[in-house]
Structure 1
Amino acid sequence: MVAKADYLEPERILMEHQAHPTRTSLPGIGTRYDLKTEGGKHVSVVVHEDGRRFLGFHDPDDDDNCTSSVPLDPSEAAALGQLLIPAPIDPLSNDIEIDLITEQIPITARSPYSGRTLGDTQARSRTGASIVAVLRRTGAIPSPAPDFRFGIGDTLVVVGTREGVDAVADLITGG
């Protein structure tokens, strides 16, 4: 029986449980891929050298006992694979008109905010645009706190209206 969360919340499942399939060479036949689910189920896919595929379901008490298998032709295997890939989050509906943009603004030596904090800028209150992340050579810092200190070479990721983002750019660059 499939647990409710298994089919309603694939993104949550992916984040909490990383699956690690194993691969076994089957000389003269092909390759077998085995996956043990978080719920203890054992599923396998046998890919024959001629391209045929079989999806197998195993006895929970005996991994070597395949209790049921389904032969799949290439188009069926491709269709099943597409169904199993979690769908990305749907973009906002095209019916809604949103005038938001995202832009990257560098912190240079000329910036009046180099060495100062995000809170010092008061960017959101002054412009209506938000600094949602800072990109550094060492990696991205999402949702920086007000006490986050900018450094030369940082790149700010700003979201807002065209006017708001332009105002943040002027503020940060001293323009």
Structure 2
Amino acid sequence: MGTRRTPLPGVGTQYDFTTEDGRRLSVVVHHDGRRFLGFYRPDDPDACEATVRLTPEDAAALAQLIDPAPVGGIRTDGLDLVTEHIPLTSRSPYGGRLLGDTRARTRTGASIVAVLRRTSAHPAPGPDFRLAIGDTLVVVGTREGVDALAALISGE
């Protein structure tokens, strides 16, 4: 099981996910908020057999079905803000380091507003909060800032 994030210049970002049984799914997030799900053939993980276009409302409804307790309380309708969950994987240079070491807000303009761990949530973590592999960072900012922060955290 694994995920991969690929910037698509001028388009948005592609997120690839491989399930435990080896099936590859893809989500392409366009700068304008549109999303496309891609389903790949099990015998050829590079061959896309179907795509589904999702409006931002469709994506929110699907996310609610998959994770009935998403991060809420951040109003982004009509604003140029996005909220995303960014996983801290073993490839990240920040596993085991302090949140302040990332200089995330200074470098990207996006803010880490919470850190989710397997057994707990840490809202509004300070610069002395120690990150761990497996954490999920809850990030708020512009599309560009959030993408830059995801690249920073993943070590790209």
Measure the CA separation in 2 of the matches of 1:102 and 1:129: 10
Higher strand share: 2
Measure the CA separation in 2 of the matches of 1:126 and 1:155: 19
Partner of residue 126, structure 2: 145
Aligned pairs, number? 84
The aligned runs of 1:97-116 (5 Å cut-off) are 97-116=78-97
Distance 1:135 1:98, change over 3 A: same
Distance 1:98 1:148, change over 3 A: same
- Identical-residue share of aligned pairs (%): 70
Kindly report structure 1 stretches of 4+ aligned residues shifted beyond 4 Å.
90-94
Secondary structure in 1 matching 2:106: helix
TM-score (norm. length: structure 2):
0.51
The aligned runs of 1:45-124 (5 Å cut-off) are 97-124=78-105
Structure 1 residues without counterparts, runs of 5 or longer = 1-89
RMSD of equivalent CA atoms: 2.0
Partner of residue 16, structure 1: none
Measure the CA separation in 1 of the matches of 2:134 and 2:100: 19
Higher helix share: 1
Partners of 2:76 and 2:82 within 8 A in 1: no
Per-residue CA shift, 1:14-45, capped at 9, x if unaligned? Answer: xxxxxxxxxxxxxxxxxxxxxxxxxxxxxxxx
Measure the CA separation in 2 of the matches of 1:137 and 1:157: 14
Measure the CA separation in 2 of the matches of 1:125 and 1:136: 24
Partner of residue 168, structure 1: 149
TM-score (norm. length: structure 1):
0.45
Structure 2 residues without counterparts, runs of 5 or longer = 1-72
Distance 1:93 1:162, change over 3 A: closer
Q: Which has the larger radius of gyration?
A: 1
Per-residue CA shift, 1:51-99, capped at 9, x if unaligned? Answer: xxxxxxxxxxxxxxxxxxxxxxxxxxxxxxxxxxxxxxx98596xx311
Letter paired with 1:172 = I
Q: How far 1:106 sits from its partner (Å)?
A: 0.5
